[in-house]
A = this chain, B = another copy of it.
Amino acid sequence: MTVLDSAAEQRLRESFARQGAMATLGARLTHVAHGQAHICFDWAPGLSQQHGFIHAGMMATALDSACGYAGLSVMPLDAGVLSIEFKINLLAPAKGQSFRCEGVVLKPGRTIVVAEGRAYAIDDGQEKLVASMTCTLMAVQGRPGVAAL
C-alpha cells in the first residue's frame, strides 16, 4: 500500500465533497491510498428497499464511488474519471447498522482502469460480505464538463 501525496489525496477529497450523492448517503471517505478507497455509511430509511435492507442501487452508489476513487488515485493529476460500466452481485441481504465499501484497482491502464469492490455490512458488531462489484473506468482528459476530479 502506497500512501498518496497530499495533492493527490486533496484532489480525491475535493471530488468526493462535490458528489451530492455521497452527502445523500451520509458517506465518509474513510481511507485512500494508491489504488484503494474505502467509503462508509450508515443504514437510513431513505436508502432502503421494500424489505428494509439497503437498496442494491444505493450500495452500488457507494461501491461505484469507492471503485472510482481507487481508480482516480492511479490516474494522472489532470485526468477526470468516468464509469463506463459496472456489475454488482448481491451476495446477501444488506442488513446492518453500517456498511463499508472497499474499492481496489485490479488493472491500471492508460485509458481504461478496472477496479473491484467489496461491500461489508456491520450488524450487531458482526461483519459480513454482502456485495461485490467489478467496475470499468475511463480516464478522461480535456473533455469539456469533466473536470480533473
Footprint of B on A, CB under 8 Å? 15-16, 18-21, 23-24, 44-52, 55-58, 60-65, 80, 82-93, 95, 106-107, 111-112, 114, 116, 129, 132, 134, 136, 138, 145-147, 149
**B83, A90: Cβ atoms closer than 8 Å:** yes
A64, A84, A87 pick with most chain B CB within 10 angstroms: A84
Identify whether the interface residues of A are mostly helix, strand, loop, or mixed: mixed
Please tell me how many copies of the chain the complex holds. 4
Q: Which residues of B contact A86 (CB under 8 A)?
A: 56, 60, 87-88
B89 touches A134 (CB 8 A): yes
The smallest beta-carbon distance between A149 and chain B, in angstroms, is 5
Known A-B contacts A90-B82, A132-B106, A138-B112; A48 and B21 likewise in contact (beta carbons under 8 Å):
yes
Q: Show 21 A/B contacts (Cβ-Cβ < 8 Å), sorted by A.
A: A15-B50, A16-B50, A19-B48, A20-B45, A20-B47, A21-B46, A23-B46, A50-B149, A57-B57, A57-B62, A58-B61, A60-B86, A60-B88, A84-B89, A84-B112, A85-B90, A85-B114, A86-B87, A89-B114, A91-B114, A111-B138
